[in-house]
Amino acid sequence: MDPYRVVVTTHEPVAVWAPDAERIQLIIDDSTVVEMTKDDEWFRTNRPEGARRYGFRIDASDEALPDPRSPRQPDGVHEASAFWSPDESVWTDSSWAGVPVQGSVIYELHIGTFTPEGTFDAAIARLDHLVSLGVDLVEIMPVNAFNGTHGWGYDGVDWYAVHETYGGPDGLMRFVDACHARGLGVVLDVVYNHLGPSGNYLPRFGPYLSDGSNSWGQTPNLDGAHSDEVRAYIIDNALRWFREFHIDALRLDAVHALVDHTAVHILEELAVRTEALSRELGRPLGLIAESDLNAPQLITGRERGGFGLTAQWNDDVHHAIHVNVSGETQGYYADFQGLQALQKVLQEGYFHALTYSSFRGRRHGRPIDREHTPASALVVYTCDHDQVGNRALGDRPSAYLTPGQLAVKAALVLLSPFTAMLFMGEEWGASTPFQFFTSHPEAELGKATAEGRKSEFAAHGWNSEDIPDPQDPETFTRSKLDWSELDVNPHREILEFYTALIELRKTTPEFAADTFDSISVDVDPDAGWLVMKRGTMAVLCSFGDTATTVPLHIAPVLSYALIADTPEGTALGGHNVAVGRIVA
């Protein structure tokens, strides 16, 4: 006998896609059942009056599952969903005109470690720091619901819900509104290439996943039978962030792992729908792809056969800068040795463009059409969550580089024609690491994660005992920023230099130019210097430990350490950078 009481339905519609199910019941507050009506592949009913928590019971199962489109999971990803709708009175940004991605300065942060409290509301209290720094857009790492209290966010399973520990959907709304009140746009990192290992109930409802897999799990069903609804599930989710949460741009995680053999790739479809919504809302909306393919098609306009995304993360620029400043050449860094590699990426965007990649053992990439693609379609950085957190110890460049070396890296990124991105704490040379941390409640999953991490780095010669345990709460705690560092040197001096660089970027027309023909680069590998010319402005960098003279005279406007004008040119100390107008 059915243990639940069937009631008459009223009020708001409730729907769930379950093409293979014969019967679905809406379970309300653990005690009331509502029979749902099947309409093609969807089951529909209305929300009973006063209902708060809910789930779906499929066919003969006794288990009530969370909603695939759950807006809230207040008790965790394995428990009932909660009805939620945005409180429109929160918004004070009716005059918000938006911030375009291209040419901006983006600041990537992790809500859980940006402040000691690790919440949206606590992050709001630090936004004025970002304003004074000169940031345009705040990019937050994924905040969709995942199992556990803390993690990087890339193992989310409820894509429509906001992680409760951070403040849930209401907290995200307050955060976005506070950013807009200060003139800051918001980029949200979203993951559509896989789901996490705990709490993924989508396959119980329908064929959301394909038979294929990537490094993180099964891939979504983007081109098989019933894939139209799976694609709609993803696109509706993306557009919801723009519409309901007033998000300004999405960073699309690892799009190279989206397997789609249809004639219209899901990224192109998403771009078309995003542009339409942008016109409707009257403000710019951006799509930023993370991809390791060096495929210009992502950022090529649709009129020229591309997908028409706004921008793409570019690891090649990071790698070339990092190798030439730090001297590290292991793994995929090997191909980026020498100032000529740095010269190439600064002028052409990609290093690997139909060139041999020793790391991959094959030809890789394709050249960018620099005539029709702005340089600002590439997002570049000295570090990001991956380039720090996926090091064995999660150590930042500030842990092993001098302030002068950090200054060189910052100047090359912030005064380039590319869209620039900083990683939280970078601007003051934070001493705290950003390590890989998890909080899987399942003991076996936690153990497998920790052991997998250790074995991965042991294969590269690291002592496994040195690798932080992702499941250790201290690994998470160590990764929180120490804001007291801003008051002491060298942190304060580094912050002042970053602030000055961003000010130059925004106030000097030559540095504001975002085309590939607005930059030229000269190098002397033997003397250890590089000159990045932007019109009549020049950025002079020295890469060696000893002083060098660049055969160019400038009227200096900014330098990290003292420089001198000599008959031969500008004398720089080791690991120094100077910016100035070229003197004829």
| Average pLDDT for runs of 10 along the chain of length 584 | 44 92 96 94 95 96 96 97 96 98 98 98 98 98 97 97 98 98 98 96 97 91 98 98 98 97 98 98 98 97 97 98 96 95 98 96 97 97 96 96 98 98 98 97 93 80 85 97 97 98 98 97 98 98 97 98 97 97 92
What does each C-alpha distance from 115 to 193, 424, 480 come to in angstroms? 29, 10, 6
Instruction: Give residue limits of the domains in the chain.
Output: 5-65, 99-506, 509-582
Residues designated catalytic: 253, 290
pLDDT score at 11: 61
Own/partner pairs, 206-209, CB within 8 angstroms, 24+ separation? 206/17, 206/18, 206/19, 206/20, 206/41, 206/230, 207/19, 208/68, 208/233
Describe the crossing of helices 403-414 and 491-507 by its angle, rounded to 10 degrees: 20
Non-local CB neighbours of 280 within 8 Å, separated by 6+ positions:
none
Q: Helix H segments across 227-265?
A: 227-245
Tokens of 537: 């402005």
β partners of residue 53: 82
CATH of region 509-582, choose from 1.10.1060.10, 1.20.140.10, 3.60.70.12, 2.60.40.1180: 2.60.40.1180
Asked if 519 and 417 count as a contact pair (C-beta separation under 8 A), the reply is yes
Indicate the residue type of 425.
G
In angstroms, rounded to a whole number, what is the distance separating the alpha carbons of residues 97 and 39? 40
What does each C-alpha distance from 308 to 190, 292, 379, 522 come to in angstroms? 18, 17, 15, 32
Tokens of 512: 């504001």
Task: Round the CA-based radius of gyration of the chain to a whole number and report it.
Answer: 25
Indicate the residue type of 538.
A
Q: Which CATH architecture has domain 5-65?
A: Sandwich (2.60)
CATH level 3 topology of 99-506: TIM Barrel (3.20.20)
Q: Pick out the residues of the known binding site.
A: 251-256, 315-319, 385-390
Q: Pick out the residues of the known binding site for substrate.
A: 251-256, 315-319, 385-390
Residue of 227, 236, 196 whose CA lies nearest to 209: 227
pTM of this structure: 0.96
Q: DSSP state, 551?
A: S
Burial class (CB in 10 A: 0-12, 13-18, 19+), 176: buried
Which DSSP helix (H) or strand (E) runs through 176?
helix 168-181
pLDDT score at 459: 67
**Kindly report the CA angle at 506 between 573 and 374, in degrees rounded to 5?**
95
Cis peptide before 490 (omega within 30 of 0): yes
Q: DSSP state, 92?
A: -
Pairing status of strand 378-381 against strand 419-423: parallel
Looking only at Cα atoms, what is the longest distance across the chain? 97
Q: Which residue has the tokens 């409290």?
A: 117
**Kindly report the CA angle at 173 between 30 and 216, in degrees rounded to 5?**
70
Residue of 136, 145, 148 whose CA lies nearest to 108: 136
Which DSSP helix (H) or strand (E) runs through 510?
helix 509-512
pLDDT score at 4: 41
Non-local CB neighbours of 508 within 8 Å, separated by 6+ positions:
537
Domains 5-65 and 509-582 share a fold: yes
